[in-house]
Amino acid sequence: MVNGKDKKTKSKGNIGYKIFYITGISILFCIGFFGSSFFAYDFFDSPIFDILSIVLIVSLLCVRSIQTFLRQTALYGKIFTLAYFNLFALTFAVKPFVSARLWVILLFFSFIVAVILLIILAFKYIKAPNNYVITKFEPLIALLMLIGLLVVASMQSYIGAQGMWIPVVIVGVILSLCAIIIFIKYFKNLDYFKINSGELIAAYALLVSFCFVFSFTAISTVNYAFDDSATELSVEVLDKNIQSGARTITSFYFKIQIDETITQLEVPVDVYHSTEVGDYIEIQLYSGALGYSYYVYEN
């Protein structure tokens, strides 16, 4: 039996965790949101905010690993918790010291390992629900990393990318079928889904969506991260524009001409801020590790 004092202590601890998470995430949101704003860029254009962001992300992941570690009863669950969260923490901790391409490789590797750990933990939970703790936060953390890789993929402007969708769709369909079959066989009859039928439908939709997003992200990441065939091109900035909305991230674009074709190139806010129409910028043209050519601006 848990006495009243223990309950009160646990409640205070949970409140402390929530305050820490809310504060940390709020600061990160402000830095990310205002740092990408054209009007607030000058204030946030400082290494201090970059370092603060890295420290906060690492701290949030480490604290979450400690919190989940203390809740796990099985030894494997404790090992999983430390490996899962601190793998991402280590990846973000080394970000300032490695190149962008190498960091994407590390993030992609961490994400793959994390997905494997999640699958193993899910099967462990089925066999012994009382010995393992798995919440919605664990898959959510991996999903955030997937979104990060997806943002990197969106920065690449593909040349003749129509053929790229063929393997993306094929891999997405195969992964979706495998995921649904495994889910029906092992997870469908869990008490949680029996009680919440709506959650069961949502689970199917999320699985299929995740498989297709993962397919695109994996193929585009491999095509980008393992390719060093850069050809440098000098192009003129024909025009500049900003795309933003209430539910979208602000993006900054240059209108350029490549091989007599007018196209848009997404660039970082600092480059947008310091470049005028008529200036020339250097971009890199890559053949792509999987054969899908793309061009991208790289500092």
Q: Closest Cα partner for 151 from 100, 196, 202, 192?
A: 100
Residue 6 reports pLDDT greater than 60 = no
The residues, any chain, with a CB within 8 Å of residue 11's CB and separated by 6 or more, are: none
Choice among 102-116, 151-165, 222-236, 246-260 with the minimum mean pLDDT: 151-165
Confidence at 90, pLDDT banded by 50, 70, 90? very high
263 bridge partner residues: 256
pLDDT of residue 35: 74
pLDDT of residue 159: 64
pLDDT of residue 123: 84
> What average pLDDT does this structure show over 39-53?
78
pLDDT of residue 171: 92
CA dist., res. 271 & res. 244, Å (int): 17
pLDDT of residue 173: 94
Give the phi and the psi of residue 157 in degrees, each rounded to 5.
-100, 110
pLDDT of residue 270: 79
Choice among 57-61, 75-79, 189-193, 290-294 with the minimum mean pLDDT: 189-193
HEC string for 216-249: HHHHHHHHHHCCCCCEEEEEECCEEEEEEECCEE
pLDDT of residue 1: 46
For residues 155, 160, 162, 165, the Cα torsion angle rounded to the nearest 10 degrees is -50
Confidence at 9, pLDDT banded by 50, 70, 90? low
Q: Which residue has the higher pLDDT, 295 or 244?
A: 295
Instruction: Give the tens place of pLDDT for each residue, 253-281.
Output: 888 887 777 888 888 877 888 888 888 88
Choice among 29-38, 45-54, 132-141, 245-254 with the minimum mean pLDDT: 245-254
Can you give the pTM of this predicted structure?
0.76
Contact 159, 294 (CB under 8 A): yes
Radius of gyration of the chain (CA): 22
pLDDT of residue 12: 63
Distance of CA 32 to the CA centre of its chain: 14
Report the side by side order of strands in the sheet with 280-286: 157-158, 294-296, 280-286, 231-236
Residue 2 reports pLDDT greater than 70 = no
pLDDT of residue 193: 65
**DSSP run (H or E) holding 8:** helix 4-35
Q: Closest Cα partner for 148 from 230, 91, 206?
A: 91
CA dist., res. 284 & res. 195, Å (int): 54
Classify residue 289 as exposed, middle or buried by CB count within 10 Å of its CB (0-12, 13-18, 19+).
middle
The residues, any chain, with a CB within 8 Å of residue 142's CB and separated by 6 or more, are: 111, 114, 115, 118
CA dist., res. 189 & res. 285, Å (int): 50
> What average pLDDT does this structure show over 101-105?
86
> What average pLDDT does this structure show over 39-60?
82
Q: For the chain, give the mean pLDDT.
A: 81
CA dist., res. 87 & res. 92, Å (int): 9
